[in-house]
Amino acid sequence: MMTMTFTTRTGVKPLAAATLAVLALGLTACNKTPDNNAAGNASQPAATTSEATLDKIKKSGEIVLAYRDSSIPFSYIANTPNQPVGYAHDLQLKVVDAVKKELNMPNLKVRYNLVTSQTRIPLVQNGTVDLECGSTTNNEERQKQVDFSVGFFEIGTRLLTAKDSGIKDFADLKGKTLVTTAGTTSERFIKKLNEDKKLGINIVSAKDHGESFLMLESGRAAAFMMDDVLLAGEKAKAKDPSKWEIVGTPQSFEIYGCMVRKGDTAFKKLVDDTLKATYASGEINQIYNKWFMSPIPPKNVNMNFTMSDNLKNLLANPHDGAQPHAVTAVASNVSKAIASGVAAASVTK
């Protein structure tokens, strides 16, 4: 998604009493990060949801960005600890530039806060982080908790498995162990499918994508279900990428968006306008090619993940809905520019 080394957290640490108190109020605590990145400690109380994000940023002199440590190539750690890189991270930085201009704060400080699939929504809700752009699916349930930007990626949920596993689709998983990542839409979907269709799959949930792939690579699971592009990222960092393949009929098509606090219309508009401008200018081509059609850090492996027609359509006609819109037969000027940009990159890369 060659051997790549990432900074990940392993194991589950005991929760402090203060954390349990927070959990009792219905919030999920963030895993501990180094002091220069910690955004939710007692000395830095989170903003209330009633405080506008732009006001909070102006008052504090900093913007807090969520990041993931292993969502390749959207948001992950490569060569420098606590310094995220990736496609979604580059889009976040475009938003930071827009905030600097909007608030006339050229020296605005950027601070990073690590999130997981399970902590990302509560940490946006309670003001610990101001913006989360990673690999988060926009769906109707999550829209009740946070607001989403216009979409920046579209995926299908499939399987990663060894080429010699005999698994070609979901029906082949009967009696086998499947791993997925906790707190994801894939986890919920496969559990329901397994129950409804009586598939007899032994489902195991890992804490993050890196751990999910480790279970697959070590033989503790026969397949890994997740978004196709994230599976491609895990495959790319495998010890032997040629051993693995992505298979199966997509079980869902989902759109990734950036999360902001619910009801903060001014900040959401700034984020939306920034993303739309990046798409319309064609700059999205360079960002896409950098992360999906070129060698990426830390091991400089190329994912060769060509932009889909669905994604071209989304970028040409951006929206913040939970469901993908049908691909139109006639491409707009923007989608034509995107298509030509990706085609050119495919030749040169």
In a shared domain, residues 142 and 93:
yes
CB 6 within 8 A of CB 69: yes
In a shared domain, residues 207 and 261:
no
- Give every CB contact of residue 228 below 8 A, 6+ residues apart in sequence: 155, 156, 157, 158, 246, 250
pLDDT at 298: 87
Question: 5 lies in a domain?
Answer: no
In a shared domain, residues 67 and 175:
no
Question: 10 lies in a domain?
Answer: no
pLDDT at 331: 35
Give me the count of residues in the chain.
Answer: 349
In a shared domain, residues 145 and 25:
yes
In a shared domain, residues 226 and 199:
yes
Angle (CA) 50-55-56 rounded to 5° is 75
CA–CA distance from 132 to each of 1, 120, 162, 258, 312 (Å)? Answer: 21, 7, 33, 5, 22
CATH number, domain at 96? 3.40.190.10
Question: 3 lies in a domain?
Answer: no
- Three-state SS for 214-260 is HHHHCCCCCEEEEEHHHHHHHHHCCCCHHHEEEECCCCCEEEECCEE
DSSP state letter for 170: G
Residue among 39, 211, 34, 224 at smallest CA distance from 132: 39
DSSP state letter for 73: T
Question: 12 lies in a domain?
Answer: no
Biggest CA–CA distance in the chain, Å, is 59
Q: Which amino acid is located at 118 in the chain? A: Q
Q: Tell me the mean pLDDT per 10 residues along the chain, length 349.
A: 39 39 36 35 41 96 96 94 97 98 98 96 97 96 97 96 97 96 95 94 96 97 97 89 95 95 98 98 98 93 92 97 64 41 33
**How far is 157 from 134, CA to CA, in rounded Å?**
16
**Look-up of token digits 């890369």:** 349
Question: 9 lies in a domain?
Answer: no
In a shared domain, residues 135 and 221:
no
Residue 275 tokens, joined: 């993303």
- Residue after which a domain boundary falls, among 224, 254, 284: 254
In a shared domain, residues 187 and 45:
no
In a shared domain, residues 34 and 126:
yes
- Residue after which a domain boundary falls, among 254, 275, 295: 254
In a shared domain, residues 276 and 141:
yes
Number of domains comprising the chain: 2
In a shared domain, residues 47 and 142:
yes
- Residue after which a domain boundary falls, among 211, 228, 254: 254
CB 48 within 8 A of CB 97: no
CA–CA distance from 12 to each of 9, 19, 118, 207, 347 (Å)? Answer: 9, 14, 13, 9, 45
Question: 11 lies in a domain?
Answer: no
In a shared domain, residues 25 and 146:
yes
Phi-psi region of 219 (alpha: psi -120 to 50; beta: other; left: phi over 0): left
Question: 2 lies in a domain?
Answer: no
pLDDT at 323: 84
Domain that holds residue 261: 17-152+257-348
In a shared domain, residues 141 and 167:
no
Question: 6 lies in a domain?
Answer: no
